[in-house]
Amino acid sequence: MQDGIISIQSHVAFGHVGNSAAVFPLQRLGHEVWPVNTVLFSNHTGYGVWRGQVLPVENVREVLGGIEERGGFDRAKAVLSGYLGSADLGQAVLETVALVRARRPDALYVCDPVMGDLGRGFFVAEGIPGFFKHEAVPRADIVTPNQFELAYLAAAELDSLADVLAAARGVRKMGPRLVMVTSLELDERQGELGILAETAAGTWVVWTPRLDIELNGTGDAFTALTLAYWLATGGDPVRTLEAAASAMFALVEATALAGERELVLVAAQAQLAAPRRRFAAQRLR
């Protein structure tokens, strides 16, 4: 078996959020993935009704322990985490990252600090925002906050692109090599969504048309695409940004054209690897 990615996230049987949104894009782009599910739900909670259960952290630790026994920690090139149901689960993630890095110092930790969104505010358990800000983000190599989450992490108001740039730089100085900010909605760019990549070498932004559709799981899929393209390009932030943004726009556009509520990952899989429309990055500094 080739080296793989440990993805610790929720799972739904119907639709695409959490691991159900992240695993397939990673596999489609050529990566072995070892999903560790933290939630087993029939569907995402956006429907208002769902069945299933949140797995106790002890169960998650057992699965991770089994992967370690099979040599998975020695062969993990990255650990990916998304929505966390509790701070205890967050500690299990960080313990896994530490154990993987002890065996393989070049292994990445990619953290999607899922906490909330514009218009909704925080939607996670008490203690999770503080855990991300003070523990997870400083240990991560790549973080993918949305605009709301970046504002919290940087303790800043984000009213302009200049504000976003300063906030992203501040979060990068907390520890990550790449801060990829998603879902930027700014008055100065009406009708568009921005994705910004901040690194020590520079900062770039891509703007795409804003499509009239609201979906769940886009952040999970985008973080997976970011990781896949970061690995494919050898850590090139510009190529990663352009490829991930273009693939994500293609996926959302295909979903809108199909009139679906769930991401059409399977139907649009070819565009994850080769999107028909490519968006160029603009250098900001």
Exposure on the CB side of residue 248, measured as CA atoms within 13 A: 34
Is residue 5 within 8 Å of 208, Cβ to Cβ? Answer: no
Question: What is the spatial distance between Cα 179 and Cα 182, in angstroms, rounded to a whole number?
Answer: 10
From the list 213, 278, 263, the residue with the least C-alpha distance to 24 is: 263
Predicted local distance difference test score (pLDDT) of residue 85: 84
- Give the dihedral of Cα atoms 270, 274, 275, 280; nearest 10 deg: 160
In percent, how much of the chain has pLDDT > 70? 100
- State pLDDT tens for residues 86-131: 889 999 999 999 999 999 999 999 999 999 998 888 888 899 999 9
Could you list the mean pLDDT of each consecutive 10-residue stretch along the chain, which spans 285 residues? 94 97 98 96 94 95 98 98 92 98 98 92 90 98 98 97 98 98 96 98 98 95 98 98 98 98 98 97 96
Both tokens assigned to 30: 């050529």
Helices (H), the chain: 19-28, 57-69, 87-103, 128-131, 137-139, 147-154, 161-172, 218-232, 237-258, 269-273
Which domains are seen in the chain, by residue range?
A: 4-283 (3.40.1190.20)
- State pLDDT tens for residues 42-70: 999 989 999 999 899 999 999 999 999 99
